[in-house]
Amino acid sequence: MEFMQVIGPGLPNLIGMFNDQHAKVREAIAWVMSKICEHHSDVITNVPQTLQHIMPIFIQSVKDKPRISN
């Protein structure tokens, strides 16, 4: 099964988690998205609209307050 069919439909919900009020949720979704980008980058790069939408969110998340995991 192609991962685009599995990950693609849930991507808007995953992206929305970057706006969660809890820092641990934002931290966790950043890790999840890093793994998607690392192992299944085609899910992000094959649809230009997705890439254009997600890059500002990634840039903003880098500006989030740094945390040290417990």
User: Which residue bears the tokens 């990634």?
Assistant: 58
> What is d(CA 70, CA 58) in angstroms, rounded to the nearest whole number?
23
Question: 69 pLDDT exceeds 70?
Answer: no
User: pTM score, two decimals?
Assistant: 0.74
> What is d(CA 70, CA 63) in angstroms, rounded to the nearest whole number?
20
Mean pLDDT of 30-48: 86
Question: 34 pLDDT exceeds 60?
Answer: yes
> What is d(CA 23, CA 5) in angstroms, rounded to the nearest whole number?
29
Q: What is the mean pLDDT of the chain?
A: 83
Mean pLDDT of 36-40: 88
